[in-house]
Amino acid sequence: MNLFFYIAAAIALITTIMAISGRNAIHSLLFLILSLLAVSVIFYLLNAPFIAALEVIIYAGAIMVLFIFVTMMLNIGIEGRTEKKWLNPGMWIVPSILAAVLLADFILAIKHVPASHSVDQIILPKQVGISLFSTYLLAVEIAAILLMAGVIGAYHLGSQKKKVTHRFLKKN
Amino acid sequence: MTTFIALIPAIPLLGFLVLALFGQKLTRKTIGYIGAGSIGIVALLTFIAGIEFLKSLPQVKSYSVVIWEWINAGSLKADISFSLDALSLVFCFVITFVGFLIHIYSIEFMAKDEGFSRFFAYMNLFVGSMLILVLADNILLLYLGWEGVGLCSYLLIGFWYKEPVNGYAARKAFIITRIGDTAMIIGIIILFLSFGTVNINDLMQQASEKWVAGSSIAVLTAALLLGGALGKSAQLPLQTWLPDAMAGPSPVSALIHAATMVTAGVYLIARAHVLFSLAPIVQTAIAIIGALTLLIAGFSALAQHDLKRILAYSTISQIGYMFLALGVGAWSAAVFHFMIHAFFKALLFLAAGVVILVLNEEHDIFKMGGLRKKMPVVYMTFLIGAASLSALPLITAGFYSKDAILWYSISSETGNTLLWIAGITGAFLTALYSFRMIFITFFGEAKTQPAFLPGKMMTIPLIILAVLSVIGGFVELPQSIGEIHLFSNLVYNTLPAVAVKESGHSEILFQAISAIIVLAGIYLAYTVYLKKPALSESFNHSRLNKFFEKGWGFDKLYDVIFVKPVVWLSEIDKNDIFDWLNVGISRLTLLTNHLLSITQNGKLRWYLMSFTIGIALILTYMIFR
Amino acid sequence: MLTVPVEIQILFAGILFLLGLIGLLVRRNMIFMLMSIEIMFNSAGLVFIIASTHWKQPDGQVMFIFILAVTAVEVAIALAILLQVYHHFKTLDADSVNKLKDHN
pLDDT digits (tens, 9 = 90+) for C23-70: 999 888 888 999 999 999 999 999 999 988 888 888 899 999 999 999
Question: CA-to-CA distance for B86 and B92, rounded, in angstroms?
Answer: 10
- Provide the CA B195 distance to its chain's centre, in angstroms: 30
Interface check A113 vs B, CB under 8 A: no
How many residues comprise chain C? Answer: 104
Chain A residues with CB-CB distance to B610 below 8 A: none
Substitution target in B619, B621, B622, B625 with the highest count of A β-carbons within 10 Å is B619
3-state helix, strand, coil in chain C (%, to 5): 75, 0, 25
Establish if C71 belongs to a structural domain.
Answer: yes
Establish if C95 belongs to a structural domain.
Answer: no
Lowest mean pLDDT among A44-48, A132-136, B359-363, B504-508: B504-508
What is the structure's pLDDT at B503?
Answer: 64
Query: Is the pLDDT confidence value at B625 over 90?
Result: no
Question: CA-to-CA distance for B125 and B16, rounded, in angstroms?
Answer: 5
Between CA B395 and CA B405, with CA B400 as vertex, the angle to 5 degrees is 155
Q: How many distinct structural domains can be found in chain C? A: 1
Establish if A171 belongs to a structural domain.
Answer: no
**Average pLDDT of the residues in B608-614:** 91
The last residue of a domain, from among A38, A72, A88: A88
Establish if B562 belongs to a structural domain.
Answer: no
Establish if A34 belongs to a structural domain.
Answer: yes
- Residue B260 near residue B94, CB atoms below 8 Å: yes
Question: Cβ separation of C65 and A92 shorter than 8 Å?
Answer: no
The residue type found at B285 is A
Contacts (Cβ under 8 Å, ≥6 apart) of B367: B359, B447, B448
CA atoms within 13 A on the CB side of B532: 6
Write the residue in A94, A95, A105 that is nearest to B619 by C-beta: A105
Distance from CA of C104 to the nearest CA of A (A): 24
- Residue B322 near residue B378, CB atoms below 8 Å: no
Question: CA-to-CA distance for B396 and B477, rounded, in angstroms?
Answer: 12
How many residues comprise chain B? Answer: 625
C54 is in which domain, residue-wise?
6-89
3-state helix, strand, coil in chain A (%, to 5): 75, 0, 25
Chain C CA closest to residue A9: C12
Query: Is the pLDDT confidence value at A52 over 90?
Result: yes
Substitution target in C17, C98, C99, C103 with the highest count of B β-carbons within 10 Å is C98
Distance from CA of B598 to the nearest CA of A (A): 20
Establish if A36 belongs to a structural domain.
Answer: yes
Chain C residues with CB-CB distance to B604 below 8 A: 33, 94-95, 97
Percent of chain B at pLDDT exceeding 70: 96
Chain C CA closest to residue A152: C77
Question: CA-to-CA distance for B597 and B593, rounded, in angstroms?
Answer: 6
Chain A CA closest to residue B616: A102
Burial (Cβ within 10 Å: 0-12, 13-18, ≥19) of residue B139: buried
Question: Cβ separation of C101 and B601 shorter than 8 Å?
Answer: yes
Establish if A154 belongs to a structural domain.
Answer: yes
User: Is the same domain home to B580 and B553?
Assistant: no
Question: CA-to-CA distance for B405 and B411, rounded, in angstroms?
Answer: 10
- Residue B42 near residue B15, CB atoms below 8 Å: no
Query: Is the pLDDT confidence value at B60 over 70?
Result: no
Question: Cβ separation of A146 and C73 shorter than 8 Å?
Answer: yes
Chain A residues with CB-CB distance to B612 below 8 A: 95, 98, 102
- Phi-psi group of B214: left, alpha or beta (phi > 0 → left; psi -120 to 50 → alpha; rest → beta): left
Cis preceding linkage at B237, omega within 30: yes
Q: Which residue has the higher pLDDT, B133 or B3?
A: B133
What's the mean pLDDT when you consider all of chain B? Answer: 86
Query: Which H helix or E strand runs over B74?
Result: none
Question: CA-to-CA distance for B272 and B226, rounded, in angstroms?
Answer: 10
Establish if C100 belongs to a structural domain.
Answer: no
Question: CA-to-CA distance for B558 and B77, rounded, in angstroms?
Answer: 39
Confidence of residue B210 (pLDDT cuts 50, 70, 90): confident
Confidence of residue B482 (pLDDT cuts 50, 70, 90): low
Query: Is the pLDDT confidence value at B280 over 60?
Result: yes
Question: Cβ separation of B605 and C100 shorter than 8 Å?
Answer: no
Write the residue in B602, B608, B609 that is nearest to C101 by C-beta: B602
CA nearest C47: which of C63, C25, C24, C31?
C63
Question: Cβ separation of A12 and C16 shorter than 8 Å?
Answer: yes
Confidence of residue B504 (pLDDT cuts 50, 70, 90): low
Query: Which H helix or E strand runs over B66?
Result: strand B62-73
Q: Which residue has the higher pLDDT, B292 or A78?
A: B292
What is the structure's pLDDT at A113?
Answer: 66
- Residue C14 near residue A111, CB atoms below 8 Å: no
CA atoms within 13 A on the CB side of A93: 3
Establish if C94 belongs to a structural domain.
Answer: no
Give SS3 for A89: helix
**Average pLDDT of the residues in B495-507:** 68
Confidence of residue A82 (pLDDT cuts 50, 70, 90): low
The last residue of a domain, from among B507, B529, B557: B557
Q: How many distinct structural domains can be found in chain B? A: 2
User: Is the same domain home to A130 and A76?
Assistant: no
What is the structure's pLDDT at B445?
Answer: 78
Chain B CA closest to residue A106: B619
Per-residue buried b or exposed e for B591-611, using 16+ beta carbons within 10 Å of the residue's own CB: eeeeeeeeeeeebbbbebbee
What's the mean pLDDT when you consider all of chain C? Answer: 89
User: Is the same domain home to A65 and A143?
Assistant: no
Contacts 24+ apart (CB under 8 A), A6-9: A6/C4, A8/A38, A8/A39, A8/A41, A8/A42, A8/A45, A9/A38, A9/A42, A9/C12
Give SS3 for A57: helix
Chain C residues with CB-CB distance to B608 below 8 A: 24-25
Query: Is the pLDDT confidence value at B122 over 60?
Result: yes
Question: CA-to-CA distance for A36 and A49, rounded, in angstroms?
Answer: 15
Give SS3 for B137: coil
- Residue A107 near residue C11, CB atoms below 8 Å: yes
Query: Is the pLDDT confidence value at B488 over 90?
Result: no
Question: Cβ separation of A96 and C22 shorter than 8 Å?
Answer: yes
Question: Cβ separation of A154 and C76 shorter than 8 Å?
Answer: yes
Q: Could you give phi then psi for residue B83, rounded to 5 degrees?
A: -140, 140
Note which residues in 39-98 of chain A have CB less than 8 A from chain C: 39, 42-43, 45-48, 50-51, 54, 58-59, 62-64, 66-67, 70-71, 73-74, 76, 82-83, 86-87, 91-92, 94-96, 98
User: Is the same domain home to B432 and B547?
Assistant: yes
CB atoms within 10 A of CB B278: 24
Question: CA-to-CA distance for B596 and B69, rounded, in angstroms?
Answer: 58
Confidence of residue A79 (pLDDT cuts 50, 70, 90): low
The residue type found at B198 is V
CB atoms within 10 A of CB B449: 11
Establish if B569 belongs to a structural domain.
Answer: no
User: Is the same domain home to B500 and B586?
Assistant: no
Query: Is the pLDDT confidence value at A146 over 90?
Result: yes
Query: Is the pLDDT confidence value at A118 over 60?
Result: no
Distance from CA of A158 to the nearest CA of B (A): 22
What subunits touch chain C, counting only 3 or more CB pairs under 8 A? A, B
In angstroms, the Cα distances linking A21 to A24, A74, C16, C21, C92 are 9, 20, 14, 12, 17
Q: Does the CA dihedral A79-A85-A90-A92 come out positive or negative?
A: negative
Chain C CA closest to residue B613: C25
User: Is the same domain home to B460 and B535?
Assistant: yes
What is the maximum alpha-carbon separation in chain A?
A: 75
Interface check A15 vs C, CB under 8 A: no
Question: Cβ separation of B601 and C102 shorter than 8 Å?
Answer: yes
Establish if A98 belongs to a structural domain.
Answer: no
User: Is the same domain home to A79 and A148?
Assistant: no
What is the structure's pLDDT at A170?
Answer: 72
Confidence of residue B373 (pLDDT cuts 50, 70, 90): confident
Distance from CA of C44 to the nearest CA of A (A): 12
Chain C CA closest to residue A69: C79
Establish if B566 belongs to a structural domain.
Answer: no
Establish if A99 belongs to a structural domain.
Answer: no
Establish if C1 belongs to a structural domain.
Answer: no
How many cross-chain Cβ pairs, A to B, lie less than 8 Å apart?
A: 20
User: Is the same domain home to B479 and B587?
Assistant: no
User: Is the same domain home to A38 and A82?
Assistant: yes
Establish if B173 belongs to a structural domain.
Answer: yes
- Residue B69 near residue B79, CB atoms below 8 Å: yes
Chain C residues with CB-CB distance to A107 below 8 A: 11, 14
Establish if B315 belongs to a structural domain.
Answer: yes
pTM of the model: 0.70
User: Is the same domain home to A22 and A71?
Assistant: yes
How many cross-chain Cβ pairs, B to C, lie less than 8 Å apart?
A: 33
Confidence of residue A77 (pLDDT cuts 50, 70, 90): low
Establish if C36 belongs to a structural domain.
Answer: yes
Question: Cβ separation of C61 and A48 shorter than 8 Å?
Answer: yes
B511 is in which domain, residue-wise?
2-557
Q: Does the CA dihedral A69-A75-A80-A84 come out positive or negative?
A: negative
Establish if A80 belongs to a structural domain.
Answer: yes
Chain A residues with CB-CB distance to C75 below 8 A: 63, 66-67
Lowest mean pLDDT among A79-88, B88-97, C42-51, C90-99: A79-88
CATH classification at residue C74:
1.10.287.3510
Establish if B345 belongs to a structural domain.
Answer: yes
Note which residues in 97-136 of chain A have CB less than 8 A from chain C: 98-99, 102-103, 106-107, 110-111, 113, 115-117, 119-121, 123, 127-128, 131-132, 135-136
User: Is the same domain home to A73 and A24?
Assistant: yes
Percent of chain C at pLDDT exceeding 70: 98
Identify the DSSP state of A61.
I
Q: How many distinct structural domains can be found in chain A? A: 2
Question: CA-to-CA distance for B185 and B183, rounded, in angstroms?
Answer: 6
User: Is the same domain home to B484 and B588?
Assistant: no
Percent of chain B at pLDDT exceeding 90: 28
Distance from CA of A102 to the nearest CA of B (A): 6
- Residue B218 near residue B195, CB atoms below 8 Å: no
Between CA B147 and CA B157, with CA B151 as vertex, the angle to 5 degrees is 140
Substitution target in C17, C24, C92 with the highest count of B β-carbons within 10 Å is C24
What is the structure's pLDDT at B475?
Answer: 75
Query: Is the pLDDT confidence value at B250 over 80?
Result: yes
**Average pLDDT of the residues in B73-99:** 88
What is the structure's pLDDT at B41?
Answer: 92
- Residue B302 near residue B246, CB atoms below 8 Å: no
Question: CA-to-CA distance for B64 and B609, rounded, in angstroms?
Answer: 85
Confidence of residue A152 (pLDDT cuts 50, 70, 90): very high
User: Is the same domain home to A60 and A3?
Assistant: yes
Chain B residues with CB-CB distance to A94 below 8 A: 609
Question: CA-to-CA distance for B614 and B596, rounded, in angstroms?
Answer: 17
Establish if A21 belongs to a structural domain.
Answer: yes
Contacts 24+ apart (CB under 8 A), B375-381: B375/B450, B375/B453, B375/B454, B377/B454, B377/B459, B377/B462, B377/B463, B378/B351, B378/B354, B378/B454, B378/B459, B378/B462, B379/B442, B380/B466, B381/B347, B381/B351, B381/B459, B381/B462, B381/B463, B381/B465, B381/B466
Give SS3 for B196: coil
Query: Is the pLDDT confidence value at B501 over 70?
Result: no
- Residue B183 near residue B238, CB atoms below 8 Å: no
User: Is the same domain home to B487 and B595?
Assistant: no
Distance from CA of C52 to the nearest CA of A (A): 9
Chain B residues with CB-CB distance to A102 below 8 A: 612, 615-616, 619
Distance from CA of B605 to the nearest CA of A (A): 11
User: Is the same domain home to B234 and B325?
Assistant: yes
DSSP assignment of B436-489? HHHHHHHSS--SS--SS---HHHHHHHHHHHHHHHHGGGGEE-TTTT-EEHHHH
Query: Is the pLDDT confidence value at A116 over 70?
Result: no
Q: Which residue has the higher pLDDT, B504 or A41?
A: A41
Distance from CA of B605 to the nearest CA of C (A): 6
Write the residue in B597, B602, B609 that is nearest to C98 by C-beta: B602
Establish if B567 belongs to a structural domain.
Answer: no
Identify the DSSP state of B211.
S
Establish if C38 belongs to a structural domain.
Answer: yes
Question: CA-to-CA distance for B42 and B124, rounded, in angstroms?
Answer: 11
Write the residue in C29, C49, C77 that is nearest to A153 by C-beta: C77
Contacts 24+ apart (CB under 8 A), C66-71: C66/A139, C66/A143, C67/C41, C68/A54, C68/A58, C68/A59, C69/A143, C69/A146, C69/A147, C70/A143, C70/A146, C70/C41, C71/A59, C71/A63, C71/C38, C71/C41
Contacts (Cβ under 8 Å, ≥6 apart) of A1: A45, C1, C2, C3
pLDDT, tens digit, 9 for 90 and up, residues B394-434: 788 888 888 888 888 887 777 778 888 899 999 999 999 99
Establish if C34 belongs to a structural domain.
Answer: yes
Question: Cβ separation of C3 and A102 shorter than 8 Å?
Answer: no
What is the structure's pLDDT at B330?
Answer: 84
A146 is in which domain, residue-wise?
124-161
Chain B residues with CB-CB distance to C99 below 8 A: 602
Establish if B156 belongs to a structural domain.
Answer: yes
